[in-house]
Amino acid sequence: MKNITFIGSGYVGLVSGAGISDFGHKVICADISEEKIQLLKNGKVPIYEPGLTELIKKNVDAGRLFFTSDLKKAIKKSDIIFIAVGTPQGEDRAADISSVKSVAKIIGENLNKYKVICTKSTVPVGTGELVKKIINKHNDKQTPFGYVSNPEFLREGSAIKDFLWPDRIVIGSDNKKSFDIMKEVYNPLYINDKPILNTSIVTAEMIKYAANAFLALKISYINEVANLCEALGANVQDVSKAMGQDGRISSKFLHPGPGYGGSCFPKDTKAFAALSRKNGQKMQTIEAAIEANKHQKIRMVKKIRSLVDGDFSKKIISVLGLSFKPNTDDIRDSASIDMINAINDGGGLVRAYDPIANDSMKKLFRNVEYFESWEEACKDADAVVIMTEWNEFRSMSIQKLKQLMNKPVLLDTRNIISIQKLKENEFYYDNVGRVSDDAN
């Protein structure tokens, strides 16, 4: 059993902290926000992630998971410190690592015995060296420490599953002692035969960006294939299904849509592109993926505009799904933001519904009407746009939808509605990459 502190009790810190406490270790989730810590101490989880509240409760009850805003005390008590603070996009597109730097300083000042310092936040390649330097600078007693990079590969909405059943664990270290300690942290997974890859620190940092950027690239690629399918009358769902059956390609992340969003892909691709330019190795593929994603979002707006005869003015448009993907209330960089902005700018009226992200969107758009069900949101609509593939939209009755609407007009940016049903109900419709057939 190890004593572990997570500094940063946001998305990554909470999921990983709760997950590691579930392995049997004693974990303190620390954060400078007293408000957040108070909430957690009261059994409330400040983010929406399926299964997280239960996992936290289970481990708090078992006496393995604690919360504090006293970073210094938490650091002193622990054998391993995870840095899990946010690294938002900075002004120059590169990730802003100011929080990582200030945490490194506090760690240096409070090193009272040998500890392993582990960065979990997504940081630009090369940050490990900087963190080590900062710790050393403030480590007056020159207490020895180990440094590792342990990137996370969690997906919002399925983060608990991803944490407890990962495809792989990457640990970048420059000495065997710290790697062995980290291996013990993940011992339960190791027993389950999950590959634990030991790399250099810089390689581990690189793996995170290379993986995220590749997935984003894959999405932009299939989106462009979908757009070409539209021009040629082919069906992208069949194309992607057949492509995915090739083991070298794999079927995952081959779903065309309105353009990727979230807190990771948009930020990480830009940071990766900025990093590569800075190092004189411009990554043309990633820059193209970013550009293609921007166009995909614009393309969705063009589609709905053309479905409503080229003019949003005074039209009621219902937007179903606001989060950047299902099972999260996160709307960061969601394609629905671009959609709502364009409809608003064009003088249209937006009626929105999301099973859980209404409140998040309310902070961004006040001039949108929010509803508690898709039925209410679609009443009297001149057009409906599906932006997120929530299950409840998949099973929506198209007949009922038609009865509710002023005109049967639908844009399905996630390809979840059967074209057959839309045709039967005489809808005027569009989707992404399916001109004629219906692969449903």
Determine, following the binding rule CB under 6 A, whether residue 153 of this chain makes contact with ligand UGA.
yes
HSE-CB for 102 with a 13 A CA cutoff: 10
Interface of this chain with ligand UGA, residues 202 to 231, rule: CB under 6 A: 212, 215, 219
Determine, following the binding rule CB under 6 A, whether residue 324 of this chain makes contact with ligand UGA.
yes
Determine, following the binding rule CB under 6 A, whether residue 154 of this chain makes contact with ligand UGA.
yes
Query: Does residue 264 carry a catalytic annotation?
Result: yes
Least Cβ distance, residue 61 to ligand UGA (angstroms): 28
Residue (108 or 262) nearer to ligand UGA, CB: 262
- Span of 110-118, 167-175, 252-260, 303-311 interacting with ligand UGA by CB under 6 A: 252-260
Which of 166, 257, 408, 433: binder of ligand UGA (CB under 6 A)? Answer: 257
Q: Residue 130: left if φ>0, alpha if ψ -120 to 50, beta else—which one?
A: alpha
Determine, following the binding rule CB under 6 A, whether residue 254 of this chain makes contact with ligand UGA.
yes
Indicate the pairing of strand 3-7 with strand 26-30.
parallel
Determine, following the binding rule CB under 6 A, whether residue 325 of this chain makes contact with ligand UGA.
yes
Determine, following the binding rule CB under 6 A, whether residue 115 of this chain makes contact with ligand UGA.
no
Instruction: Give the H or E element holding residue 251.
Output: none
Determine, following the binding rule CB under 6 A, whether residue 261 of this chain makes contact with ligand UGA.
yes
Residue (213 or 308) nearer to ligand UGA, CB: 213
In DSSP terms, which residues pair with 197 in a beta bridge? 170
Determine, following the binding rule CB under 6 A, whether residue 264 of this chain makes contact with ligand UGA.
yes
CA distance 178 to 171: 10
Q: By rule CB under 6 A, what count of residues binds ligand UGA?
A: 20
Least Cβ distance, residue 208 to ligand UGA (angstroms): 7
Scanning the structure block, which residue is given the tokens 């120059």? 92
> Which of these is catalytic: 29, 229, 264, 378?
264
Determine, following the binding rule CB under 6 A, whether residue 387 of this chain makes contact with ligand UGA.
no
For 277-342, give the DSSP string: HHTT---HHHHHHHHHHHHHHHHHHHHHHHHTTT--TT-EEEEE--SSSTT----TT-HHHHHHHH
For 375-419, give the DSSP string: HHHHTT-SEEEE-S--HHHHT--HHHHHHHSSS-EEEETT--S-H
Instruction: Give the H or E element holding residue 370.
Output: strand 369-370
Residue 7: phi and psi, rounded to 5, are: -100, 120
Residue (297 or 351) nearer to ligand UGA, CB: 297
Residue (128 or 259) nearer to ligand UGA, CB: 259
| CA dihedral for 296, 302, 303, 304, sign (positive or negative) | positive
Which of 214, 253, 371, 428: binder of ligand UGA (CB under 6 A)? Answer: 253
Determine, following the binding rule CB under 6 A, whether residue 155 of this chain makes contact with ligand UGA.
yes
CA distance 111 to 90: 29
Least Cβ distance, residue 423 to ligand UGA (angstroms): 25
Residues forming contacts to ligand UGA in the complex (CB under 6 A) are: 122, 152-156, 212, 215, 219, 253-255, 257, 260-262, 264-265, 324-325
- Residues annotated as catalytic are 264
